Structure 1
């Protein structure tokens, strides 16, 4: 029997029923979901792909706050930097209670805004948006800006290019990687809560990004860095304010050499931050404390790696801009005003024009000016040795006799890794690093701002440097920026290492420096110690004018 004919209305209803079956509904939903995911993915890619770097028209501002490329791989999110004082109030309380910038507890220096309040970030912290996240980390100035005061009641004067005599970088590293990295306070939920408590409205999408991307990645990165660096920090004496181990962290973090693989002789190499005044005349000299490179460009690039840049993130143009600015950056003139007659007699001694009775034991033929250059009558610095030109040349470790730690920390094996693995295959690969036989003779421009003295800062004042090692202070306070007008350098009263270390607390930018600890020895550099008392006083008067 034939089926009845299907009307047009029935056909339409049949097609509608077929369209509204569960399978069709699922297809529509899947299509809509795909569109939503696509839109969300595009939005996420745009947000995550944001890259920007603040530009400072003024070279001085660029030096203080401009990025050199350390933030993407080594930095932490800006919002986390701002939240850490809230997450760890017991660490930052001393600074917060006195109304100072919170990170001044580690010796970071803050400039003030028009209202007299600390600026948002301290000197030496730069910002860069990388992968959609506003990041902060170090630039060159974090280690090369310091302060001085005429007396304890005077306000601090900030000097660009002098060694940072305030920054306790080791204390900050121990806090960030030894405490914060493994603390539950950095868990995503708590971290996001504190970021928003600081006044930042993340919004729904950005909150998800922080929950599942930024916060876990930050935590994992800090823990990984901690696992490499903290075993090294645990076997080293505290660096203290104004000092850093230049190359050992470089080995364990950038080159991923296990700390346990470092020999006992090389694993303690802490030394003072150097001054970076007048870099132009130093081109071709043996640079770094041990004179291991004669290229300013390579020295600068190596220092930038120590600050956290990588071959992938380094901003060569930003570093070159700083380097060009430093070519002619002079130190400020010394505010000390010794007796002019003594200065004149001291200058003759410094230049090797000795008189009978000035020496208790005869000199070795080299004058101070032979190795360090000298201050001209017009106040400029002469970067050339007198009679025998030894300025910027390495003296053998057995002759200079100072602590071996920094010298031994730079090994031939590490040098080879630098040449083979850093910037390999690029126009910037290292070529000039060498293992030397000792320490380089340094120019003394800005000497009044460079205490404590010797490469490891183990001798507090110029008066102490002119004494034989057995008469030099065994332990003294580091980190005070008040000038010592009598002795030359900064005030450094004696201390008792164990008692004063406990009394000062774990996170204070002043420490009791113990010269009996490994790497902190104050022996050597006997030049001038054989002068008579009167001749030493004259020489000191001249040195105070540098």
Structure 2
């Protein structure tokens, strides 16, 4: 093998790793059978489920000893119910007792992992069904705000802080350690409160099953990570994250050739998957404090104080590659479903679905020539998320001013687009982690050779977090999908397992597939969000005994909660709609 191929192989081998061994665990729910997603690949076993629930990705929400000592507003321990009150799912098998699915303690710090937002449980006739990879109905926004309130209380009341300090420090308590702990808590609070106060919408909370991931990723990277120490804040970079969306389902996610609801990130191989995942870690409490450093290949140090757990992300992505869509567990009228299949395959002008949602070849990637096309189209749905790509929104680039990636990007200006800052932060961290080359005058030629050899891999990162509307960002052009004329475009995913992903539309504004087939003006204006599931309407049941959130919608395209748009199939007859719904259960 040539030196070039050897170096490339070594770089790639670092990225791909997984191990599995079956274990046996009791379950208080029925876990739905998965369909095979990749020919010949093993479906998830209990070891895979356990790993998905517990592998760290590097999120750093709050020190574990702190949250154990914090109190709710009523005086109960903050962790009294294991965070179930926020919609997270109990996990009796957690390595850390009391934590729900998707929360893990790593290096003494609590943080969420993928399964916190991507594990669904539904209830039908008193029975619970677990859907791994499905969109969670958790309320991370309220958790975020309640932590802010709890820490504010102890900092504002000396007696409360003394009680907190004694609980955290235990037998090692002394007044000097209390002073140090208070300084640490004040630093944590300064950062957490800045993004809570300026980032979380107070008038229209996200609610259950929705999170403004893009808004908070941009806020955290530009507002919390690139300013001067010790806080690293640039508060003026933070804006209200008021465009919450439903977390997507994970099955088939690695195959899409675009990702993020507006389709502004290339996807489809493991390099781009790492970029996708590093970005989301930044958004859910990852820490990233870059600094200029001429001794590093890229002129900046992107990993010195970066909390991303790259090995954990590799293992989690390999799990996601294996997960298949869930099988519908109830009877299906196969005669009616066969009629629905014919409707599904009609042209979209006649109410069909496959032109936009069928499986079609996508954009080949360097390490995967067989992606699935993700058409990105304007179908009249809510436009709020596009505020983050407005050409007049620029942020102070702080510690990343002048940063660029060879072969990929231009240096960041002092004021630049937040998406460009995010792309640089993600690319730089990945390249420095997997190509840990330091340079000096004698090693410059060696470094240049390394860059030249790895140029094809580096160029693959060009598609990371592009601004919609720029060349190559959000391709619509599949062989089957029609092009649309508007500019507010969102991805149209393959619909395997779509029955398990309610509520619908990217902003979770339609409770069921039956509701989505109604003309927009006839769709419900509000509905309760909870685990109760209706197998006839294929989505959320009207009655939700466990719901604490009423989703209020409108038909204002810029509101963030518009239920209008996507009026395909709305002119079908009632019989045709029943047939189509029956077929969608089989996907």
Q: Same fold (TM over 0.5)?
A: yes
Q: Which whole-Å CA distance do the structure 2 matches of 1:302 and 1:213 have between them?
A: 32
Q: 2:105 aligns with which of 127, 130, 133?
A: 127
- The offset of 1:390, in angstroms, is 12
* Partner SS state of residue 527, structure 2: strand
Q: Which whole-Å CA distance do the structure 1 matches of 2:63 and 2:241 have between them?
A: 31
- The offset of 1:92, in angstroms, is 7.1
- The offset of 1:384, in angstroms, is 5.7
Residues 133-282 of structure 1 correspond to what in structure 2 (within 5 A)? 134-151=108-125, 153-154=126-127, 156-165=128-137, 167-177=138-148, 179-184=149-154, 190-191=160-161, 193-194=163-164, 202-204=170-172, 207=174, 210-234=177-201, 237-256=204-223, 267-282=241-256
* Higher share in helix: 1
Q: Which whole-Å CA distance do the structure 1 matches of 2:386 and 2:543 have between them?
A: 28
Q: Which whole-Å CA distance do the structure 2 matches of 1:108 and 1:321 have between them?
A: 22
Give the match for residue 396 of structure 2.
Answer: none
Give the number of the structure whose alpha-carbon radius of gyration is greater.
1
Q: Which whole-Å CA distance do the structure 1 matches of 2:567 and 2:372 have between them?
A: 17
Distance 1:187 1:383, change over 3 A: farther
* Partner SS state of residue 281, structure 2: helix
Q: Which whole-Å CA distance do the structure 2 matches of 1:486 and 1:183 have between them?
A: 47
* Partner SS state of residue 431, structure 2: coil
Q: Which whole-Å CA distance do the structure 1 matches of 2:189 and 2:169 have between them?
A: 25
1:105 aligns with 2:146: no
Q: Which whole-Å CA distance do the structure 2 matches of 1:307 and 1:491 have between them?
A: 30
* Partner SS state of residue 331, structure 2: coil
1:403 aligns with 2:382: yes
Q: Which whole-Å CA distance do the structure 1 matches of 2:156 and 2:328 have between them?
A: 46
Distance 1:512 1:160, change over 3 A: same
1:456 aligns with 2:435: no
- The offset of 1:316, in angstroms, is 0.8
* Partner SS state of residue 512, structure 1: strand
Aligned residues: CA RMSD: 3.4
Q: TM-score under structure 2 normalisation? A: 0.66
Q: TM-score under structure 1 normalisation? A: 0.71
Q: Which whole-Å CA distance do the structure 2 matches of 1:91 and 1:405 have between them?
A: 38
Give the match for residue 491 of structure 1.
Answer: 541
1:309 aligns with 2:313: no
Q: Which whole-Å CA distance do the structure 1 matches of 2:524 and 2:235 have between them?
A: 32
Q: 2:54 aligns with which of 56, 65, 74?
A: 65
Confirm or deny: 8 A CA contact 1:247 1:410 kept in the other structure.
no
1:431 aligns with 2:462: yes
1:82 aligns with 2:50: no
* Partner SS state of residue 271, structure 1: coil
Q: Which whole-Å CA distance do the structure 1 matches of 2:113 and 2:20 have between them?
A: 14
Confirm or deny: 8 A CA contact 2:287 2:308 kept in the other structure.
yes
Give the match for residue 334 of structure 1.
Answer: 328
- The offset of 1:187, in angstroms, is 5.9
* Partner SS state of residue 244, structure 1: coil
* Partner SS state of residue 424, structure 1: helix
Confirm or deny: 8 A CA contact 2:55 2:104 kept in the other structure.
yes
Confirm or deny: 8 A CA contact 2:91 2:101 kept in the other structure.
yes
Confirm or deny: 8 A CA contact 2:339 2:579 kept in the other structure.
yes
Q: 2:578 aligns with which of 523, 537, 540?
A: 537
- The offset of 1:186, in angstroms, is 7.4
Q: Which whole-Å CA distance do the structure 2 matches of 1:120 and 1:347 have between them?
A: 45
- The offset of 1:349, in angstroms, is 0.6
Please list every run of 5 or more consecutive structure 1 residues that lacks an aligned counterpart in the other structure. Answer: 1-54, 354-362, 374-381, 495-503
* Partner SS state of residue 112, structure 1: coil
Q: Which whole-Å CA distance do the structure 1 matches of 2:154 and 2:54 have between them?
A: 31
216-225 vs 447-456, which moves further:
216-225
